Amino acid sequence: MHWNIVRFDTLDSTNLEARRMIQNQSTGQSLHGTVVTAGQQTGGKGRLGRVWESPSGTGLWFTAIIQPQVPMEQASLYSFAAAVSVAEAIRQAADLQVTLKWPNDVLLNGKKLCGILLELIPYSKTEYYIAIGIGINVRQRKEDFPPELQEKAASLAMFSEKTIDQPALLDTILQQLKRTCTQLEAQGFAPLRDQWKAWSAIIGQEVSVQQYGNVLYTGIAEDIAMDGSLLVRTADGLQRVTAADVSLRSKDGTYGF
Ligand code: BTN
């Protein structure tokens, strides 16, 4: 796979631009490997309909378009490839150790450093692309985040001595993404799942699972199933979590972010 980076100063959202490119593509043209990046996003999108703050020049906001080589039901597994790639790239480029929280948050010192939004975009009856949107906070100071995020969000600059070269970080992530996607397609989910679990902050920990603000259950995060869902051991048995938010139980017994 060869990456083709398309840069914009400002976009509403790199995921929306990727969708427009796919919808407007001419016959015979392939967008596989196209990467859309923006200096700022005016309508950055998060998971579950949330907003993703993406001010000018403070972070890496980009979307990689991929034509998956797996059946549509397995497309969500690419978000694990993305999370592992970001973790590995940050270790290489910034010398920082992140952890992963299901489904695909990247945490630094327990705070959210990076979010991943994977969208499936069909373009014919049988063919589809995925848009892997990745947002990494790079330069913000604590006070640059909106008040409600200040205790929950992290940037690389908050914890790294190094000045981060953003284009170089993007290149390192894309190299890793090529590796993890190729591995997923050639060897299936098992090796990637093992890598994800090695970076994970939640396996074996007590978690609370919420959907749209309501707690569904609490229990021990036991494993990741082969379809990417999270398996949580509760008092009533093993629960399979597909679309939700997960919080870790802190030492004081409260559930944090
Ligand atoms: C999350 O809620 O954790 C996912 C956040 C994803 C943000 C990235 S920034 C680049 C891309 N474009 C968007 O509008 N969203 C994603």
pLDDT at 251: 66
Counting as low any pLDDT under 70, the low residues of the chain are 251, 253-257
pLDDT, tens only, 163-200: 999 999 999 999 999 999 999 999 999 999 999 999 99
Cα distances from 183 to residues 29, 49, 139, 186, in angstroms, run 25, 30, 32, 5
Task: Name 95's Cβ contacts closer than 8 Å, sequence gap at least 6.
Answer: 160, 162
pLDDT at 106: 97
Q: Which amino acid is residue 171, in one-letter code?
A: D
pLDDT at 257: 63
3-state helix, strand, coil in the chain (%, to 5): 30, 35, 35
pLDDT, tens only, 151-170: 999 999 999 988 999 999 99
Pocket test for ligand 1, best of 36, 40, 61 (most atoms within 8 A of CB): 61
**Which residue's structure tokens are 């906070």?**
137
pTM: 0.94
Q: Cis omega (within 30 of 0) on the bond before 191?
A: no
pLDDT at 44: 97
Q: Residue of the nearest CA to atom 2 in ligand 1?
A: 46
Q: Which amino acid is residue 71, in one-letter code?
A: P
Q: Residue of the nearest CA to atom 3 in ligand 1?
A: 115
pLDDT, averaged across the chain? 93
Q: Which atom of ligand 1 is nearest to the CA of 43?
A: 14
pLDDT at 256: 64
Q: Which atom of ligand 1 is nearest to the CA of 15?
A: 12
- H-helix or E-strand containing 113? strand 111-122
Q: Residue of the nearest CA to atom 9 in ligand 1?
A: 135
**Which residue's structure tokens are 């080589």?**
69
**Which residue's structure tokens are 């992963």?**
100
**Ligand 1 centre distance from Cα of residue 114 (Å):** 8
Tell me the C-alpha distance between 251 and 208, whole Å.
14
pLDDT at 29: 86
**Ligand 1 centre distance from Cα of residue 117 (Å):** 5
